[in-house]
Chains A and B, each alone.
Chain A
Amino acid sequence: MTADPGASAERTRLAWRRTGLSAAAVALLAARPAFSPAAGPGTYLVAAGALAGWAALVALAYRRARGLRLQPPRPGQRTITAYAGITVAFAILATVLVTL
């Protein structure tokens, strides 16, 4: 018997990576208006918040990958709730950006 039949820990780790890449696209789109010549302080703040949120998401995924390397892999708990919370924060930040 193999250590992890179905490679579920590895598939979960790759799912975290895919999600992180999607988050990178959202963070870059939220930071994009800060590079226009007409950018104001609000736009800069939103860009800073988006990039900080993205860094936090990457850190959470990194932490989760350590839990997945254990044998047996540890189920995700607070990391998952925090990840969803930051995604909601992205939604609020993006709404502020559109209404600026």
Chain B
Amino acid sequence: MFTSLVDNQPVLDQWFNPQKTPVVGEKPDYRFSLANERTFLAWIRTALALLAGGLACAQFLPPLPIAHLREGIAIALLLLGGVVALRAVDHWARTERAMRLGADLPKSRFPAILALVVAFGALLLVAAVVIKAVG
């Protein structure tokens, strides 16, 4: 994720100036850049939703039978939100760069991994609720 040091452009510089270096090929159609920007914003909303979920867990769930489980769930969601936001800006910068260079758009396993993590967490909670209801 942080190793895209193609042509010696540091990752942080790529984040702040994705259009700067090197300018090969054509400047992309602005509509493609704006579509990339909207994808970034959709990921930021995903991150913000995870943050809101984490804060809501901490504030509205009653204390759970296992000590600090409520805080653990909340912090897991908050960290996941932070990672999603960081990855959103990295992916946006790499896509912007690929469009300028006329290269293939960057591929990513991140959406699949995020989906699996969220599904696994949901199944874990379903299991906990069922065990509590039966036992």
A18 CB-CB contact with B under 8 Å: yes
Are B30 and A72 in touch, CB under 8 angstroms? yes
Are A19 and B34 CB-contacts (below 8 A) given A26-B55, A30-B55, A84-B85?
A: no
A73 partner, pick from B19, B30, B75, beta carbons under 8 A: B30
Q: Are B40 and A80 in contact (CB under 8 A)?
A: yes
For the residues of A in contact with B, the DSSP-based class is: helix
With most chain A CB atoms within 10 A of its CB, the pick from B18, B31, B88 is B31
- What is the predominant secondary structure among interface residues of chain B facing chain A? helix
Write out, one digit per residue, whether chain A residues 1-17 have a CB within 8 A of any chain B CB (1) or not (0).
00000101101100110
In contact, B55 and A22 (Cβ under 8 angstroms): no
State the interface size on chain A (CB cutoff 8 A): 40
Option from A74, A91, A99 in Cβ contact (under 8 Å) with B85: A91
Chain B residues in 8 Å Cβ range of A40 = none
* Chain B residues within 8 Å of A8, by CB: 30-31, 34-35
- Annotate B66-78 by CB proximity to A: 1 below 8 A, 0 otherwise: 0000010011001
In the complex where A95-B75, A98-B74 touch, is A84 in contact with B59 (Cβ < 8 A)?
no
Contact B45 A29 (CB under 8 A): no
B residues with CB within 8 A of A? 15-19, 30-31, 33-35, 37-38, 40-42, 44-45, 47-49, 51-52, 54-56, 58-59, 71, 74-75, 78-79, 81-82, 85-86, 88-89, 92-93, 96
